[in-house]
Amino acid sequence: MGKLDDQIDAVFADMDKPQHPGAALLVVDRGDIICRKCYGLADLETDRPITPDTSFYLASLSKQFTAMAIMLLVDDGSLSYEDRLSTFFPQLPAWGAEISVRNLLHHTVGLPDYLEYLGARGRTPEWTGDVPGDVLGATNEAVLEWITRLPTPDFPAGSRFAYSNTGYVLLAMIVAAVSGQSFADFLKTNVFDPLGMKHTLVYDATRPTLHKLAHGYLNENGSFKRWDYPLLTAGDGGLFSTLDDLFLWDQALNTELLVPGGALAQSFTSGTSNDGTSIGYGFGWFTNVFPYCNEAEREQLLALGGIDFRHVAHGGSLGAYCNYIVRFLDAQRTIIVLSNDTALSPRIRAHQVATIIFGD
């Protein structure tokens, strides 16, 4: 790519230096990897560099996999999007009968975020700095036990959008209840293994071995302090993966290998609140994060032979890990940035790379 390579390197120049955590970048255009670059270190203590098969904690990028697990169960008839929370968790108060699986997927539930709950108990919601040891006990079961004590959600189900990790924890528990497998085993059997994603896994109470882990690092007054992932919750997060494995995942989303095209289209389409208002979120994806044009301009663009920039995206950050993926659906272009440094701003840099490679 020549000159473009230099411009892309400049976007990550502040990370490509000795004793510095870094990032992994992937750009895909219609099935072809046109840019795959790694910057900085996965392990400052051993000077191990970040490579395409380095594992990163995905944080909320995990939600798209949780949504896929639900879609797989709906596709085989084991589950319905309209099934109610109380069906799977009869111990919930009466409000559980008002919340559907679709509400959970769309974040239109009204259940407060369990991470904020942990923060309210003296822990930092962003999980920066020191984390008390008892956080290691934070599991999906603990989240469920907490919400059973809630007298009522913050708002009626479906009335509005409010991003909350709690709903996706419950989705992972529904996958386990319906399939008879652990959430980790279900994803391995039905997604990771079929796609050849050899180094992707759910980190849960079994504490599986992580492949070539990029350790997280927090910048404290100019020096880096190692930050180890402390949670055992999954569904909202919990996944570790590599750049190479995420390429396989991205390509599967352009096919019907996992679920029919209609199901995928639904996951990439904004849901609505009860009054029909678009919420800007599908199944595990934000929709139209930065719209390029209004509908009339879009139709004019397509009539002139231009590219349809319909897209979905999602970020994921926790502690020292910051990630971002954006998929241009019709153009079949994808940009992924994974990082073990909180200073990265992966969304901004992914968009900068998009402009360098693809233009305006």
Q: For residue 7, what pLDDT band results from cuts at 50, 70 and 90?
A: very high
pLDDT reading at 4 higher than 60: yes
- CATH number for the region 54-227+234-322 comes to 3.40.710.10
Residue 200's pLDDT is 98
Q: What is the pLDDT of residues 67-79, one digit of tens each?
A: 999 999 999 999 9
Torsion over CA: 204, 205, 207, 208 (sign): negative
- Residues of the chain with pLDDT > 90, as a percent, come to 79
Q: What is the pLDDT of residues 125-173, one digit of tens each?
A: 343 334 444 444 589 998 999 999 999 999 999 999 999 999 999 999 9
Measure the CA–CA gap between 11 and 79, rounded to whole angstroms: 45
Question: Are the CB atoms for 89 and 96 separated by under 8 Å?
Answer: yes
Residue 2's pLDDT is 72
Residue 122's pLDDT is 38
The model's pTM: 0.92
Q: What is the pLDDT of residues 81-136, one digit of tens each?
A: 999 999 999 999 999 999 999 999 999 999 999 887 765 543 433 433 344 444 44
**Tally: H helices and E strands in the chain:** 13, 13
Tell me what the mean pLDDT of segment 32-60 comes to.
Answer: 97
pLDDT reading at 293 higher than 80: no
Tell me what the mean pLDDT of segment 219-238 comes to.
Answer: 92
Domain ranges in the chain are 1-52, 54-227+234-322
Residue 134's pLDDT is 43
Residue 167's pLDDT is 97
Residue 116's pLDDT is 77
- Residues of the chain with pLDDT > 70, as a percent, come to 88
Q: For residue 222, what pLDDT band results from cuts at 50, 70 and 90?
A: confident
Query: Strands 333-339, 321-328: parallel, antiparallel or unpaired by DSSP?
Result: antiparallel
What value does the mean pLDDT of the chain take? 90
Q: What is the pLDDT of residues 234-262, one digit of tens each?
A: 999 999 999 999 999 999 999 999 999 99
Q: For residue 306, what pLDDT band results from cuts at 50, 70 and 90?
A: low
| Whole-number Cα distances in Å, 146 to 88, 121, 232, 236 | 16, 13, 15, 16
Measure the CA–CA gap between 316 and 58, rounded to whole angstroms: 6
Which stretches of the chain are DSSP H helices? 3-11, 63-75, 85-88, 101-106, 114-120, 140-147, 165-179, 183-187, 193-195, 243-252, 261-267, 295-303, 346-358
- Region of residue 257 (left: phi > 0; alpha: psi -120 to 50; beta: else): alpha
Q: Which residues contact 314 (CB under 8 A, 6 or more apart)?
A: 60, 61, 63, 64, 284, 285, 286, 324, 325
pLDDT reading at 179 higher than 50: yes
Tell me what the mean pLDDT of segment 192-205 comes to.
Answer: 97
Residue 343's pLDDT is 80
